[in-house]
Structure 1
C-alpha cells in the first residue's frame, strides 16, 4: 500500500488560442489566502480566487475557482516573480528586471510607489502574525542585476525606500530571507548574511552550470539549499547543519517546505521527503512541471497551462496510515516530530496507541528492551501482554483484550513446546516488563494479574531470590491460583511466606511445621525451625504463639525459648509471664533461660523469679555434666548480687547438698559469717575460698558498716577460727601474710598464742610496720601539701585589688591600713599581722 503525504488536485487550466499557447504560458505563481496570482510569459498578471466554501482547502477547489482581473504590464517580457504582501494589500511583481507594486485586488499600480529597477530577484521578509497590526512597513530584499550587491528596502503603504546595501563578492543569482538572516547564492557559492548585525559567512560552493541554484527558507532560522553532489542541505542561520542532507535527484527545478515535508520539483515528478528522517515518502507524477509555490499546508505546482494543488493530508490520518501499513516505528517517529502541530489530547492518545503497536512489533521481533520501553511509554494495560502467554487463567473475566494479535505474531503456547530456549527469552521479557510496571500507576490498574503472572514467571525460571522478594513484601497474589503453582513446584516454604504476607499466620506456620517435621521436602530454607521460632517471637497474636509454642519446645527447648525472650519486652505483663513460666515447667533449661531473661534483661525484682532461678541453678549444678562448674558460678553470682530471692527457701534446697560455698553465701546473707566460714573451713575444706569469702562479703557490705571495717572483722574472725586448731597454724600464718595491711597489729598480738615465735610472724610484722610507717609519712606529706595550698590561696587573696576607704583599720592590730595588707576571708589585715590572725 502506497503512503500519501499529499493529495493531488487539478486546480486550473489556462485557456488560450493554439497560436498563443507558448506566449501565454504560466511563468510564476503566488498564493495568498484564497487568492491565486498567475504571471505569464507574455507580461500578464492574472488574479484567481477560490470559492469561499473551500475555506482555503485546495483539495476541494476543483471547478470552484473564479477568474477575476487580468493586467497587461507591457511588452512581451515574462513575469518572473510574484509576491503578495497582505499587510498593505500589495502584489509585488518582478517584470523586465524591475519590481512594481499593484493592488492585490484591482491589480492597479500603487500611486507613489516608483518602480525599483535593475532587480534580478527579490523576497519579502514575512513578519510575525502577532506584530502585523503594529507594523508601519515591511522589509524587502532585492538582488541587483547590474551590481554585486543586495539591497534592503522598507515597504510602506504608499512608498518604499532603501535602508541598506550589502556587497557580495559575485553577482547574486538567488536569495532567501528569514527574519534578519539572508542566504544568497552567487555564481559559484552560497553566502549567509545578517543585515541587522552586519555579519556574513561563506558556505559551500555549487556548480551553477550543472545544477539549478536553489535557495529556500525552511523557517525558524533555517535555509534549504541545493548543495554539491545533488544533496539538499539544511543550514541554520549560524552556519551549522542540524539535519542530515536530502539525497534528491540532480534535475531539481524548485523546492518548497511544508512541514514536516520538503518537496523537490523535477521536470516530470515531484518528490516528497520527510524532514524528520530524510527519507522519500511519496512521488507525484507531473509531466511538464515548471515551478511550485508552497503555502501553509499546500503546494501549488504549475506547468505551462495547468495548476495543480498538493494538499497536505491531515497529520493524524498520515500517522494512522503508517500504522495500518505496519510501519509503527515510522509512525511514532513522525508523531513525535509533529507534536507541536497537534492538539495535546490528540497527541497523547495517538502516542499511547502507536507506542503500544510499535512495542508489539518489537516484541514479535524479540527486540525486548525496545518493546518494554514502548509498552511503558504507551501506558499499555499489562493484561494485554499477559494475554499473549499460555496459562492466563488468573485473568479476570471482565477483561477484553484491545491489542490485536498480528498475523505474523508467534504462538507462545506452541513455542513453549517446540523451542523452550526461545520461549524462555519471551518469559524473561514478561518478568522484566511486569517488574518494571509493578507498583506504578500502570501496574496498579491490575495488581492481582501482575503479581500472579510475576510469581508464575519466577517459578518457571527457578528464580528463588525474586520469588522470595515478591511474596515477602505486600503483594496482590491470588492464593487460589498461586498456592497450587508453588506447591506444584515444591516451593512449600514460599507457600508459607505467601500465607504470611496475606495475614494468614496459622496457615503459614502450619506449612513450615510440615517442612520441619519432614512431611514436605523443600531445601530453599536450610533451617525452617529457626524461622518458625523467629516468626513466633515477632507475633502479637498470643493465641497463635500458644498454638505452636509447645511444638517448638518439644523439638528444641533451648532454641524455642527465644519465642519469648525475643518478643517485645513491653508485652511481658504479669499474667503473660506467669503463663509462660507455667508452660516452661516441663522444660528446665528453657525455664532457666527465660528466668535469666526476666532478671538480666527486664530487670525483674520479683522474689519468685529470683528464687526460681536460684533453684534452677541448684538443680542444674547438681547434675553431673561438663558445665556444672559454670552453672555453680552463675548460682554463686546470683546469691551474692541479688537481694530479691527468698533466702530461707533457697537454703532449704541447698542445705542437704554438697554445695558448701553456696551454703556459706546464704549464711552470710543472714549475717552468720562465723558459721559460713566454718562451713568453708571444715566442710568445703577450702582455705582460699574462705579468704575470698571475706573479701566478697565485704564488698557486699550491709548498710551502715564500711567495707574496710567489715573486711577487717571477717578476717579477724577467720584468723580466730584458724587459731583454734593447731592443724590450721599454717593457714593462719598465710592469712596474716596475705592481709598484713588489713589486720590491726595490736589486735593480732592479743590473739596470737604465746607459743608462737617472732620468726613465725616476722613477715607479717615487717609488712604491717612498713604499712604503718607508710601511712604516717603519707599523712605528713598530705598535711604539708594542705599548708602549701592554704598559703597559695592567701597569696592570691593578697594580690586582689580591694577598694579601701580613708581611715580604714586593720582587723587585727586596729591601726590604720597605711602599709601592705591583704584580705583574709573578706577582712583586711596587715601582711605582718596574718600569722596572728584569728578571724
Structure 2
C-alpha cells in the first residue's frame, strides 16, 4: 500500500573538481524553516515557498547560510523555537545561533567535548522560559544536563557512565542510553538505573529513539525493533526488520526504517511490512508532526502520510479487513469518536459479509451482531422476502466472493437452505436485542417467512402465538397458500383480532372436503372446541345453519354458548358493540329455532337481566302473560312488547292474535296503569283486538273521548270485515254453482236424456215449460 507519498524537497549539486565535501550530513525542521548541515561545515537556512492542499512542501527558498569553520562536519542540528535558538553540533562542540540570522549568541558560550545531544520539553519558571539540554560526551563518559535560557545556560546535573555513549533518547526525566554493548535506562531525578539488554551491533547501527510518549524504540539483538517503556517493560511486540539499518523513527502508527538503498515502513500495530521506498545512499530520518524527511548524501525527500481514514477505506476495499480493523483500533485516539464508530461498524460488517459468503456462518453472525448490521440489508438478499420499512439506504459493500441467493435457490436448493437457516438463526438472536427493536416489523415478518420456508411449523406457531410484529397483509396469504389455518388463527389472536382468529381456526373443521377421510365427527369437534367459546359458536352455527342439524343438543348448546358469552361480556364490561351483536344473534336464534330445550335454556338466564330473551323462552313454554309482564315491567320496552305479540302470533289464527294482544292490554292496565301507552297500543294495533273483549277490560273511569278513535276504527274494521266475509261467501257460492253446473253438463245430462226427447237433428229435447237448469237441479 502507498501509505507514504515521497516527493523530492532538495537536491545538492555535486562539486565538479577536487574532493567533494559538500554532502548533506543532517537537517532540522521548525515550522516552515529548514536547516541543512553539510559535511563541509556549511549551514544553510531555507524556508518553504508554497504548499499543496495537503500541506506538502513544493519548493525551498534559501534565506542565508553560514560557514561554521574551515573543516569538520555539522553532525546535529536542533531548533528551539521558544528561544529563537538553533543548536549546532560541530567539531565536537555545541554552538548556539539565532535561528533566523544564523549569528552566534554571544552570551552562550560553546559546550565542548559533546558527541551527541537531545533536548527536553520547554518549561516556564518565574516567567522565564528554559529548555533542558542533554549532552553526551564520549571523552568524559557522561551525560551532562544543562538548563538553556535565552541568554545563558547552566549545568544542573551529570550522569556518569561506565562506557562510551553511542545513542541517546530522553523522555521527561528518564534517559535511554546506548553504549557500545548495552542499553540502559537512568532516571536522573531518582538516580535509578536499569540495564535493559546487551547487543553486538556496530556503532553506526545502534539506535535509541523516542517513540510515542513514555516509550523508546531500540535496535535490539536479532534485528528487532524493540519498544521499551521508561519503566523498563515492553507492552508492544517487536518489529522484525532487515539488517544494515542506518536510522529509524516512529511516525505513529508506523516505524520507518532506513537502510542504505531503501526505506521500509512497518506497522507498530501488527508488526508487518506495509511499504518499501527505494533511495540511494540513505543517511538519516527526521520525523515531524506533519511528515518524515529522508536524508541522503545529496537529496532530501519528504514523506507525506495518506490520511488514516483513506488508508482504512483502501484496506477495506481490498478486503484486508483484519488489517483495517487493527489500524482503526490502533489510531482510535486520533479520530473523532463518531467517525471511529461508523468506520468500525463498516469494517466489522464487511468482514461479516466475507465470512457470510464463505459460508462461515458462525463468525458471520458474530460479526454482523458486533457491527450492528441493519438486518434489512441481509433480508433483502433473499428471494420472496418483503421489506416493510421504506427508509433503507443500502450500505452493503461489494465483496469479491458475493453470491446471488436467488440464483442459488434455483440451481442448488440444498445450498440455499443453509443460507436460509443462517438467516433464521441471526434474526432469532437479534429479535429481542436493541437492534431488533428498531425494525420489529421487518424482522418478525422475515422470520415468519423463514420458518414457513424451512417447514419449522412448531417454531412458526410459537412465533405467531406470542407477541409479534408480523404484518398480517403479508403473512396471511402465505399461510392460506400453505393451508395453515390454525396458524392463521393464532396470528389473528396475537394481534387482538379474536373474531377473525376464531373464524379462520374453525375452517380446520368446516372447510374440508366432505369426501376427505380426515373429516371429524361433530361430537369429536365439539369436545375439542369446548374450551374455545368463539370457535364453538362458529362451529355450532355451521352445524345448525349450513348442515341443517335438527338435533336438540346442538340447538340447545348453541343457545347456551351464546348466553355464556353474553354473560361473560357483561361481567368484564367488554366491547358493547360485540355484546349487542351477540344478543341480536341469540334473539334471532331463539325466535327461529324450534329444536332447543326452552326450559333448560330459560334456567340459564332466569336470574339475569336478559329480559327479552327470557320473554321469548317463556313464550315457547306457553307463558305469554308472564313473558309480557317481563317486557313491560322489567325491560320497560313498549316496542319489544308489541314485537313479541306480532312475532308470537305470526302464522296463528285471528283468535290467538286477539288473545295475545288482549293479554298485553291487560298487563298495561294491571302493572303499569299508564293511560297514554294503553291508548297508543289500541290505536296502533286495531286489527289485533276484539272489540267486545276490549270493552270488557277497559276501566269504567275512561272517557269515551279516549277510546273514540279505537272504537271508530274497530267498528269500521268490524263492518269492513263483515262485508268482506259476506262478499267472500257470495263469491264462494257463485263459484260453487259454476262448478256444479259444469258437473251436470258432463255427468248428469247424458243419463237424463232418452230417445223420446231426441229431435231429428240429434239435439237433446226439453220438457215443455221446464228450464234445463231446473231439471238438472231436480235430478241432482
Tell me which interval the TM-score lies in, with the shorter structure as reference length: 0.5 to 0.7
Cα deviations by residue, 1:300-342 (Å, 9 ceiling, x for unpaired): 0111111111111112222222233222332233223222222
Cα deviations by residue, 1:75-103 (Å, 9 ceiling, x for unpaired): 42111111111111111122222222111
One of 400, 405, 409 as aligned partner of 2:402: 409
Q: CA deviation at 1:264?
A: 0.5
Counterpart CA distance in 2 for 1:207 and 1:505 is 87
Aligned to 1:215: 208
**Is 1:93 the counterpart of 2:88 in the alignment?**
yes
Residues 1:445 and 1:114: Cα distance change in structure 2 (over 3 Å):
same
Counterpart CA distance in 1 for 2:86 and 2:274 is 34
Aligned to 1:120: 115
Q: Is the 8 A contact 1:515 1:528 kept in 2?
A: no
Counterpart CA distance in 2 for 1:199 and 1:444 is 59
One of 192, 196, 200 as aligned partner of 1:203: 196
Aligned to 1:107: 102
One of 237, 252, 255 as aligned partner of 2:230: 237
One of 273, 284, 291 as aligned partner of 2:277: 284
Cα deviations by residue, 1:235-279 (Å, 9 ceiling, x for unpaired): 112222211111110111111111111101111111111122211
Residues 1:172 and 1:422: Cα distance change in structure 2 (over 3 Å):
farther
Residues 1:562 and 1:304: Cα distance change in structure 2 (over 3 Å):
farther
Superposition TM-score, scaled by structure 1 size: 0.62
Counterpart CA distance in 2 for 1:85 and 1:138 is 8
Counterpart CA distance in 1 for 2:149 and 2:555 is 105
Residues 1:594 and 1:296: Cα distance change in structure 2 (over 3 Å):
farther
Q: Is the 8 A contact 1:509 1:532 kept in 2?
A: no
**Which secondary structure state, in structure 1, belongs to the residue aligned with residue 382 of structure 2?**
coil
Q: Which moved more, 1:300-309 or 1:498-507?
A: 498-507
Aligned to 1:479: 472
Q: Is the 8 A contact 1:97 1:145 kept in 2?
A: no
Aligned to 1:498: 491
Residues 1:467 and 1:27: Cα distance change in structure 2 (over 3 Å):
same
Residues 1:570 and 1:392: Cα distance change in structure 2 (over 3 Å):
closer
Q: Is the 8 A contact 1:251 1:266 kept in 2?
A: yes
**Which secondary structure state, in structure 2, belongs to the residue aligned with residue 332 of structure 1?**
helix
Q: CA deviation at 1:48?
A: 1.5
Counterpart CA distance in 2 for 1:253 and 1:144 is 21
Cα deviations by residue, 1:784-832 (Å, 9 ceiling, x for unpaired): xxxxxxxxxxxxxxxxxxxxxxxxxxxxxxxxxxxxxxxxxxxxxxxxx
One of 349, 367, 372 as aligned partner of 2:365: 372
Q: CA deviation at 1:233?
A: 0.9
Residues 1:573 and 1:321: Cα distance change in structure 2 (over 3 Å):
closer
Q: CA deviation at 1:470?
A: 2.8
Aligned to 1:171: 164
Q: CA deviation at 1:9?
A: 0.1
Q: CA deviation at 1:580?
A: 12
Aligned to 1:29: 27
Counterpart CA distance in 2 for 1:223 and 1:107 is 32
Q: CA deviation at 1:231?
A: 1.0
Residues 1:135 and 1:376: Cα distance change in structure 2 (over 3 Å):
farther
Counterpart CA distance in 1 for 2:458 and 2:51 is 69
RMSD: 4.2
Cα deviations by residue, 1:333-384 (Å, 9 ceiling, x for unpaired): 3223222222344434434443433332222223334433444454443222
Q: CA deviation at 1:202?
A: 1.6
Q: CA deviation at 1:562?
A: 8.6
Q: Is the 8 A contact 2:479 2:488 kept in 1?
A: yes
Matches within 5 A, 1:324-343: 324-343=317-336
Q: CA deviation at 1:518?
A: 7.6
**Which secondary structure state, in structure 2, belongs to the residue aligned with residue 115 of structure 1?**
coil
Q: CA deviation at 1:65?
A: 0.5
Residues 1:53 and 1:268: Cα distance change in structure 2 (over 3 Å):
closer
One of 301, 305, 309 as aligned partner of 1:312: 305
Residues 1:288 and 1:532: Cα distance change in structure 2 (over 3 Å):
farther
Counterpart CA distance in 1 for 2:266 and 2:525 is 69
Counterpart CA distance in 1 for 2:230 and 2:65 is 39
Q: Is the 8 A contact 1:534 1:563 kept in 2?
A: no
**Which secondary structure state, in structure 2, belongs to the residue aligned with residue 8 of structure 1?**
strand
**Is 1:459 the counterpart of 2:457 in the alignment?**
no
Counterpart CA distance in 2 for 1:529 and 1:231 is 85
Q: Is the 8 A contact 1:258 1:297 kept in 2?
A: no
Q: Is the 8 A contact 1:150 1:167 kept in 2?
A: yes
Q: CA deviation at 1:184?
A: 1.2
Aligned to 2:724: none
Cα deviations by residue, 1:425-471 (Å, 9 ceiling, x for unpaired): 32232223333444666445544332221111122333345423432
Counterpart CA distance in 2 for 1:316 and 1:605 is 78
Aligned to 1:618: none
Counterpart CA distance in 2 for 1:120 and 1:528 is 105
**Which secondary structure state, in structure 2, belongs to the residue aligned with residue 334 of structure 1?**
helix
Residues 1:215 and 1:580: Cα distance change in structure 2 (over 3 Å):
same
Cα deviations by residue, 1:263-299 (Å, 9 ceiling, x for unpaired): 0111111111112221111100112111111111311
Counterpart CA distance in 2 for 1:138 and 1:522 is 100
**Which secondary structure state, in structure 2, belongs to the residue aligned with residue 48 of structure 1?**
strand
Residues 1:370 and 1:105: Cα distance change in structure 2 (over 3 Å):
farther
Q: Is the 8 A contact 1:512 1:532 kept in 2?
A: no
Counterpart CA distance in 2 for 1:135 and 1:264 is 39
**Which secondary structure state, in structure 2, belongs to the residue aligned with residue 162 of structure 1?**
strand
**Is 1:513 the counterpart of 2:506 in the alignment?**
yes
Counterpart CA distance in 2 for 1:32 and 1:473 is 70
Counterpart CA distance in 2 for 1:477 and 1:338 is 43
Q: Is the 8 A contact 2:46 2:64 kept in 1?
A: yes
Aligned to 1:80: 75
Cα deviations by residue, 1:13-44 (Å, 9 ceiling, x for unpaired): 11342236631111111112111111111122
Residues 1:293 and 1:461: Cα distance change in structure 2 (over 3 Å):
same
Counterpart CA distance in 2 for 1:55 and 1:414 is 48
Aligned to 1:48: 46
Q: Is the 8 A contact 1:11 1:65 kept in 2?
A: yes
One of 142, 155, 169 as aligned partner of 1:162: 155
One of 63, 66, 74 as aligned partner of 1:71: 66
Counterpart CA distance in 1 for 2:274 and 2:366 is 27
Q: Is the 8 A contact 2:212 2:252 kept in 1?
A: no
Residues 1:578 and 1:404: Cα distance change in structure 2 (over 3 Å):
closer
Counterpart CA distance in 1 for 2:436 and 2:214 is 44
Q: Which runs of 5+ in 1 are unaligned?
A: 538-543, 599-603, 609-839
**Which secondary structure state, in structure 2, belongs to the residue aligned with residue 253 of structure 1?**
strand
Aligned to 1:7: 5
Q: Is the 8 A contact 1:172 1:186 kept in 2?
A: yes
Residues 1:215 and 1:134: Cα distance change in structure 2 (over 3 Å):
farther
Residues 1:578 and 1:298: Cα distance change in structure 2 (over 3 Å):
closer
Residues 1:292 and 1:56: Cα distance change in structure 2 (over 3 Å):
farther
Q: Is the 8 A contact 1:533 1:562 kept in 2?
A: no
**Is 1:273 the counterpart of 2:266 in the alignment?**
yes
Counterpart CA distance in 2 for 1:164 and 1:461 is 80
Q: Which runs of 5+ in 2 are unaligned?
A: 544-552, 612-780
**Which secondary structure state, in structure 2, belongs to the residue aligned with residue 278 of structure 1?**
coil
Superposition TM-score, scaled by structure 2 size: 0.66
**Which secondary structure state, in structure 1, belongs to the residue aligned with residue 118 of structure 2?**
strand
Aligned to 1:769: none
**Which secondary structure state, in structure 1, belongs to the residue aligned with residue 240 of structure 2?**
coil
Q: Which moved more, 1:281-290 or 1:501-510?
A: 501-510
Counterpart CA distance in 2 for 1:160 and 1:109 is 15
